[in-house]
Amino acid sequence: MTRRRRIAHLDMDAFFASVELLSFPELKGKPVVVGGRSTEPPKMDESGVRHYARLRDYVGRGVITTSTYEARALGVFSGMGLMKSAALAPDAILLPANFEAYRHYSRLFKTAVATIAPQIEDRGIDEIYIDLTDLDQDTDRLALRIKQAVRDATGLSCSIGISPNKLLSKICSDLDKPDGVTILDHAELSTRIWPLPAKKINGIGPKANEKLAGLGIHTIGDLASAEPQMLIAHFGRATGHWLHQAAHGIDERPVVTSSEPKSLSRETTFERDLHVSQDRARLSSVFTELCNRLSEDLLRKGYATKTIGIKVKYADFQVLTRDLTLTAPVYEGGAIRRAATECLRRIPLDQKIRLLGVRAGSLMPIASIAQDTQSYQPDLPF
Ligand code: TTP
Ligand code: MG
Ligand code: MG
């Protein structure tokens, strides 16, 4: 017998705004809005007091990226024009977006969840699906452990929905925001899901919602009791069928865990074969370039590595590789070059070289490591 699926959807609360509040804790409990193209960061005066921009001072066409729950209580939400929202919350504090920080905290919370439940499908900067089916603990206990791990790693709160599938869990994670846990059994569909507006189903956008309203379908329950043939007549076979299934809480989509790369590498074949004795400068600069590119690849994908390897193909097509395992993970170009240089010293460079490559193995998320790099620096062979 296959086990009954337990799927969680986790979504961070007021994500960008909450990350900003980590830098400006004195703003906790206040209406704060993130957004605007030309928003100035807060300035500190000589006496150490920070001065924040207010919504009423904003001039321009920018929109709200997100807002704290205190700002939402004043009617100010994602997507609203800033000048329009200033009419509702003139004193709300306005902060510029800081995407680097959001990406950093995104990696941190995902890594923290993975320590408890590794079957994760990444759904963007602030949300994931998690397959809990194979874990032993009770669902409510697991939900609390996951929330605590996220809080410990980031200082931030999230909301979690857990049900037998992704569709219902996505609806549930939104039902008790912020800092909520909603666990739903399929038997509770008619009491807890059917009263909700149809647009709560992820996939029913404003256009479909309007079309449904024109057919007298407002709630998920209305949709569930609509004739499938009628839905197919108006929306086509695939969408009509899907609408019917969704309203009945049926969704068999698996949690798709992204396959993590095991290694990353950069290599280059020279236009003409090079020899260390005649082409030292050229080889050296190509080598540095490869290490820097590899570093950029690692940073872009959020990995560090403890294994650096190199590959040399001689003019006669013979290939040699060497690896070095480091005591601490690295990701920075200089550290990669030092380790790769060590490898290169173990390869005879008495023939012409056709290809040079640098590889990073045993990848690990940068978010999971302490940020100390190698200090050991061997002599360079060229
Ligand atoms: P959401 O999860 O939709 O919103 P949120 O995390 O701010 O608030 P909630 O507690 O309701 O989940 O989006 C995550 C982040 O994505 C959000 O903090 C800012 C960004 N975002 C945009 O840039 N544009 C948008 O229109 C929305 C909705 C979000
Ligand atoms: Mg969110
Ligand atoms: Mg989200």
Choose which residue among 21, 39, 102, 126 to substitute to test ligand 1 binding: the one with the highest number of ligand atoms within 8 A of its C-beta: 126
pLDDT for 364 equals 87
H/E stretch holding 271 reads strand 264-274
Choose which residue among 10, 20, 78, 129 to substitute to test ligand 1 binding: the one with the highest number of ligand atoms within 8 A of its C-beta: 78
DSSP 168-193: HHHHHHTTT-SS-EEE--GGGIIIII
Which CATH fold would you assign to the domain 196-247? DNA polymerase; domain 1 (1.10.150)
| Core vs surface per residue 157-170: b (16+ CB within 10 A) or e | bbbbbbbbbbbbbb
Tokens 């509040």 sit on residue: 21
Catalytic amino acids?
Answer: 127
pLDDT for 2 equals 63
Strands 32-35 and 93-95, how do they pair?
Answer: parallel
What is the DSSP secondary structure assignment for residue 196, as one 8-state letter?
A: S
Q: Say yes or no: domain 7-13+101-190 is CATH 1.10.1040.10.
A: no
Which CATH fold would you assign to the domain 264-368? Dna Ligase; domain 1 (3.30.1490)
Which CATH fold would you assign to the domain 16-98? MutS, DNA mismatch repair protein, domain I (3.40.1170)
pLDDT for 369 equals 64
pLDDT for 17 equals 98
CA 178 / ligand 2 centre spacing (Å):
9
Strands 93-95 and 120-122, how do they pair?
Answer: unpaired
Domain-wise residue ranges, the chain? 7-13+101-190, 16-98, 196-247, 264-368
Tokens 């001039």 sit on residue: 59
Please determine whether the domains at 16-98 and 264-368 fall in the same fold group of CATH.
no
pLDDT for 259 equals 65
Split the chain (382 residues) into runs of 10 and give each run's mean pLDDT: 86 98 97 92 94 95 96 97 96 96 95 95 94 96 98 98 98 98 97 98 95 98 98 95 97 84 91 95 96 94 93 95 94 97 95 96 77 39 46
Measuring from each residue's beta carbon to the nearest atom of ligand 1, which residues come in under 6 Å? 11-16, 65-66, 78-79, 125-126, 177-178
pLDDT for 108 equals 96
pTM of the model: 0.72
